[in-house]
Amino acid sequence: MAEALRIEARDDRTLVTLDRPAVRNAIDQAMVDELHAVCAELETSPRVLIITGAEGVFASGADIRQLRDRTADDARRGINSSVFRRIRELPMPVIAAVDGYALGGGAELAYAADIRIGTPRVRMGNPETGLGIIAAAGATWRLPEIVGHARASELLLTGRTLDAEEALAWGLLSSLHEPDELIGAAHALADRICTNGARATELTKRALLAPAGQHPAIELELQAELFESDEKHRRMTAFLERRAQRADASKQTEAPKQPEPSKKPEGESR
């Protein structure tokens, strides 16, 4: 039984809610272990993953009580980094639905998602240097990919926190929604994703995550697989049939042209 997470599994998606509201959903070892268990399931049964937080907070960061006692060996094990990388590499897209604080490790968890949406209450940033450590769970390399090197440097070196409008303007969030509409908006994104070809979606994500040196070869190889798939043939056939039906319907609804009035020969009297 999960204790740090609430998990709602459907056929095509899984909703995970970080659920330690007493500590603003701080990420502790139990939560990391439970997130690994979620990843293990989604690696074998790929579904869209939505991650959010309980009671108006995404995640306030790593649990400082545990973090304070971690050693150099713990740092090298990459406790948070390993699970965030695993989330990032899940076969199907990951959506972070962010409300309230997403700080430190909470921000790095959001950075690991493919799509991030939020509310006007979002406060996002990496204050790690103020605690005498660095953002070592993905921020130093994921954040520049998202917002560019200059803005990532400002955020990480100053430790300041962005509000929702700044996060939207910087591209950390793709849209803002009222708090009571946030999960609905995340499900709407999942609905759109799930109407598409599942394998095509997986391979699109794989291409997006591939290093620059693998392009364009990786797109060509992945496309080669899809070109031979039954799904491609079925979907394209259905598309052509719908287009033909629309064309036929359009012809049938066109109003018949009215005959032009006959002209009397010149010089004819009335």
- Measuring CA to CA, which residue among 108, 147, 112, 99 is closest to residue 127? 108
Give the type of residue at 143. L
H or E element, residue 101: strand 101-103
Distance CA 244, CA 262 (A): 37
Contact indicator for 87, 116 with CB cutoff of 8 Å: no
- For Cα atoms 128, 129, 132, give the angle at the middle one, nearest 5 degrees: 95
What positions carry a catalytic annotation?
Answer: 108, 128
Distances (CA, A) of 86 to 24, 137, 263: 23, 12, 80
Q: How far, rounded to the nearest angstrom, does the alpha carbon of residue 255 sit from its chain's CA centroid?
A: 47
Query: Positive or negative CA dihedral for 163, 167, 169, 173?
Result: negative
Distances (CA, A) of 219 to 205, 216, 266: 11, 6, 71
